[in-house]
Amino acid sequence: MALSTRASLLRQAGRHRNAAALDGRALLLVGSSGAPEPRNRTQTQTHRAAVLDALVGLAADHLGQVHLAAARRLLARARGIADVADTAWLAGRRPLLRIEWVSAEVAIYSADSASALEHAQHARELCTVADTPLRHRVKTELIAAAAHAAAGDLLVAAQRAAEVTADARAGGLLPLEWASLALRHGLDPADEDVAGDLTRVRGLLVGRGVPFADERTAGG
């Protein structure tokens, strides 16, 4: 799980190939199915969470390299392992939520806006439980905004992205603030306030060690 977390930080910076190497190592360590002779239910859940982190992370890594077929195969494997009956956070709703996020993104890249909106809605439904962390709620709304943009609902997308910016800023969620500003900048490149905020937040992230792959990635 530590390797997958490290991979996610590299992936956010646009270094998808580097992230894939770490997610691949994580999957190699934990295997790709059930826990080997689990001693108890907690061990089984933790193992499933680790397997799903690696699989969904790899799917996102391949998506970032526009390997859409590989991303779909990895998501299918993850869905086959996920336990939809597990309503707890760690190995139940959290990995299911991440599967919906990446599925929505794959649909966006595949020009299938209807599926993107459907996956985004499923993700929002998973966030209705009270113990869902703020970071995951805000990320889910960001995915929904992107899905609306892909569907051509630009006003809805801009409004939701602006709400994500405000919520991320209030919650101290700097990477999500940057991502929402990048989306808004793409929707309206002429908005100088958004462009200025995007530059400012990028600088803060770089100062905290985010290794952006290049200027294009840093700008969203």
Concatenating the DSSP letter of every residue in 38-66 gives: -SSHHHHHHHHHHHHHHHHHHHHHHHHTT
Per-residue confidence (pLDDT) for residue 120, from 0 to 100: 98
Instruction: Single out the residue of 71, 87, 78, 83 nearest to residue 16, CA to CA.
Output: 71
Looking at the chain, the domain(s) classified CATH 1.25.40 span 1-119, 133-220
Phi, psi (degrees; rounded to nearest 5) at 48: -60, -40
* Section 14-34 average pLDDT: 91
- What does the pLDDT look like over 7-17, one tens digit per residue? 999 999 999 99
Per-residue confidence (pLDDT) for residue 214, from 0 to 100: 72
Confidence of residue 31 (pLDDT cuts 50, 70, 90): confident
The reply to whether CATH 1.25.40 applies to domain 1-119 is: yes
* Section 192-201 average pLDDT: 98
Q: Enter the pTM of the model.
A: 0.93
Residue spans of alpha helices (H) in the chain? 2-12, 16-30, 41-64, 68-81, 94-109, 113-126, 134-150, 154-171, 174-187, 192-207, 215-218
Which 8-state DSSP code applies to residue 94?
H
- What does the pLDDT look like over 64-107, one tens digit per residue? 999 999 999 999 999 999 999 999 999 999 999 999 999 999 99
Instruction: Single out the residue of 7, 12, 19, 63 nearest to residue 218, CA to CA.
Output: 12
The reply to whether CATH 1.25.40 applies to domain 133-220 is: yes
Per-residue confidence (pLDDT) for residue 174, from 0 to 100: 97
**Contact by Cβ (8 Å): 63, 89:** no
